[in-house]
Amino acid sequence: MEHDIYKAPQAELVSNLPETPEFYVVSERKFLILAIATVGTYLIYWFYRHWKNQKLKHSDSIWPVARAIFNIFFTHALFKRIQGKLTEVGKTFTWSPRVMATVFVIASIISNISDRIYAQEGAPVIFSLIGFATLIPMVWSSYKAQQAANIACDDVAGKQNSKITAANMAWIIFGVIIWMLLLFDIYAEIVGLPASL
């Protein structure tokens, strides 16, 4: 057998990198901490990561950043995909993707409207409180979707993404500052002090 001394040696390449899951996996505890601590800002990143994973997994011609920023237009599609994957892998989870997506969208719209009204000079503080209240259904509906996504990706506890990282801590600290400013602003409005924002 002839051997070509000029031919590059061949080796079997095996990747040790973990396979990209179909959806973004995160533990329930970490999800709730980040969503609440950042006053819901984390949910923009959350949508981005889900759509980024979908793009990588399926080579879809989608723009994850756009779908994250304008998430109310793509919430139903994402939740439907999560349910589709659950069905495909033969796993069950008690939730209604359509209802949860609708809850998220309606709460987001109410939040945006109330925030815009409250930003106007002389607007009653009730609009700020409404904005805060909408955080509850937004976090709850996306939390249910995350539980379903974890099950669909065969990581119910979200172990692969359960630790709070340094970047997470930076966002949490930033979020706590925002919470304090917003709550002081509401308090100042109620007792008649000059507003901080």
Q: In sequence order, which residues have a C-beta less than 8 Å from that of residue 58 and are 6 or more positions away?
A: none
Instruction: Average the pLDDT over 154-176 and give the result.
Output: 93
Residue 197: pLDDT over 50: no
Higher-scoring residue by pLDDT: 19, 66:
66
Max avg pLDDT among 19-23, 28-32, 129-133, 173-177: 28-32
- Which is nearest to 182 in space by CA: 33, 44, 38? 38
pLDDT at position 2 is 57
Q: What H or E segment, with its residue span, contains residue 46? A: helix 42-58
Q: How far apart are CA 128 and CA 133, in angstroms?
A: 9
d(CA 145, CA 186): 31
Separation in Å, CA 155 to CA 24, 71, 78, 148, 158: 11, 25, 18, 10, 5
8-state DSSP, 163: S
Residues of the chain above pLDDT 70, percent: 88
Q: What is the pLDDT of residues 93-127, one digit of tens each?
A: 999 999 999 999 999 999 999 988 887 877 777 88
Torsion of CA 152, 156, 160, 163, to 10 degrees: 140
pTM confidence score: 0.82
H-only helix segments in 59-121: 64-69, 75-88, 97-119
